[in-house]
Amino acid sequence: MKKFSFLFVIAGSLLSSTSIAQQDSSGIYKTADDFQKRKLSFAVNYKTERQKINHSFLFNNSEIKVTHNGEKHKLSKSKTYGYRSTKGEEFRFVDNKYYKVLNPGQTLLMYVYNHPFRSPKDAQKYLPAYFFSIDAASVPQLLTKANIKAAYPVNHKFHDALDAVFNNDGELYAYDGFHKMYKLNWILSR
């Protein structure tokens, strides 16, 4: 139900004029470049404006349908980069799935994919899966040390730091509260 409610607010973000992402704004990122520039399309201030959006696009629909000021709009999910929710969460569409972007604005982007489920019983079947990409335009890859090393093949200092800091792949999405960023990005920035 939480997913459904924040998606209705996202609708507000979907159909206003193009604007730069703000704290109270939600909307659509049409392209990877828009995401990098934090440029929302159809953005609205969700505290003052309301719109309707079909929430079924999260469950493998190919279209995002939005109603704004009485007008209906359709966006192709496969041609839309992602969206920003009313909670400030960022999501990216890839292969008809949506990935939550854990660290927008950082060098190495990290994502979590939660399989959509319809009942609490189904939730136990699907664990979150973590992914990364070296930039906003790159396809997300499974977050493993081997994949990260392959993505940065000549950065041997980074490879050594990965081996020294992380014992296994399950530690790669650890957050560094002191530096206010994911440890992986902190190590990459050094």
Chain centroid to Cα 70, Å, comes to: 29
In the predicted structure, residue 63 carries a pLDDT above the cut 50? yes
Residue 172: the pLDDT is: 97
* Alpha-carbon gap, residue 176 to 110, rounded angstroms: 14
pLDDT-derived band at 136 (thresholds 50, 70, 90) equals very high
Which alpha helices (DSSP H) does the chain contain, by range? 2-14, 32-37, 120-123, 145-151, 156-165, 183-189
pTM, two decimals, is 0.79
* Alpha-carbon gap, residue 144 to 147, rounded angstroms: 5
| Beta carbons of 81 and 32 less than 8 angstroms apart | yes
pLDDT tens digits, one per residue of 64-118: 776 656 677 788 888 889 988 877 889 999 988 889 999 998 889 999 998 876 6
Provide mean pLDDT across the span 133-138: 95
Residue 95: the pLDDT is: 86
